[in-house]
Amino acid sequence: MFAFIEGVSGVGKSTTLRLVAQGLREAGRSVEAWAEFDFANPIDFYCTAYLPAVEFAELPLRFPGQAEALRRHAVPAGEAVLVRYYDGDTPLFPEPLLSELAGREFCYHPRRAVPMEAYTAAYRAVWKGFAARSREDVIYLFDGSLLHHPLNDLLRNYRAAPDAMAAHVRHLLGALGGALWQVFYLRTNFLPGQLARAHRDRGQEPPTDGELAFWRERAARDRYVLREAVGTWREWDIDGGWDEAREGILHALI
C-alpha cells in the first residue's frame, strides 16, 4: 500500500506523517515513512543529479577514487541515472565532482532543467522500479511525493500548464502498476496565517507576497490535478488542528 499525504507548504504534512506512522506501528502494522527532504526517500529527490546513462558510465573512469560512492548513491531511471550528491547539509562527494553533479541538478532549482519529457520519464522509471520491489504487507507512507514536490518542480522549472501537471501525476500513479494507493489531502482556509506560522516554527523569515502568490497558485493547481489525475482522495481541513486528519488516515489504512 502506498499512502501519500499531500497539501501546500505549511499545512503540517510532515507532522501528520509522523503521527500516522506512529499510530500504524502501535497498531502492529509494518510501515516505512519518509518526510520532506528525506535523503533515503526512494521515489522523491532533492540535491540529485541527472545524467544520461552513457555519461554516468564515464564518471568512474574520470573519478576512479569515487567509483564506489557513485555506485552507492546512483538510482537507475530508465535511460538516465540519478545521483544523490547531498544528504541534508552533508556533501556525499569531494570537489570537483560535487560541483559537477550540482551543475546537473535534476529537480530542486536546477541551473538548467532537463526536458520535461525526460523529467517525467525518469520519475516514472524510478516509481515503477520501486513498486516492483515493494511488499504487500508494508504501508509506504510519503510526505508530498505525489503532488507537492513534483508540482513545485513543474511550476517553477517548466511553468507547466495544469493539463501537463495532471499528465505527470497520472504517469506516476500508473507506474505503481497493481499496487494499492491512497491520497490524503490537508487543506487550509487561512493560507497566509498557516504559512507564516510554519515559517516561524522553522526559524525562517515571514513569507513574502511573492511566496504567498506562488502557494495560492499551487493550491489551485492541486485542486485541478486531484480532480483530473487522482480522481479519488480523502481531504481534511487542518485549521482546527491535525487530530481529525490523523484519526481519519489511520482508520483508512488500518
> pLDDT grade, residue 46 (50/70/90)?
very high
For residue 90, what pLDDT is reported?
Answer: 97
For residue 73, what pLDDT is reported?
Answer: 98
> What is d(CA 54, CA 196) in angstroms, rounded to the nearest whole number?
45
Least confident window among 15-29, 83-97, 197-211: 197-211
97-138: pLDDT as tens digits: 999 999 999 999 999 999 999 999 999 999 999 999 999 999
Count how many Cα atoms sit within 13 Å of the Cα of residue 184 in the half-sphere of its side chain. Answer: 28
Sign of the alpha-carbon torsion through 109, 38, 101, 118: negative
Query: How is the chain split into domains, by residue range?
Result: 2-42+114-253, 48-102
For residue 151, what pLDDT is reported?
Answer: 95
Amino acid of residue 194 = Q
pTM of the model as a whole: 0.94
For residue 9, what pLDDT is reported?
Answer: 87
> What is d(CA 198, CA 172) in angstroms, rounded to the nearest whole number?
28
For residue 198, what pLDDT is reported?
Answer: 80
- Nearby residues of 61 by Cβ (< 8 Å), 6 or more positions away: none
* Fold of the CATH domain 2-42+114-253: Rossmann fold (3.40.50)
For residue 6, what pLDDT is reported?
Answer: 97
pLDDT above 70 covers a percentage of the chain that reads: 100
Q: What is the mean pLDDT of the chain?
A: 94
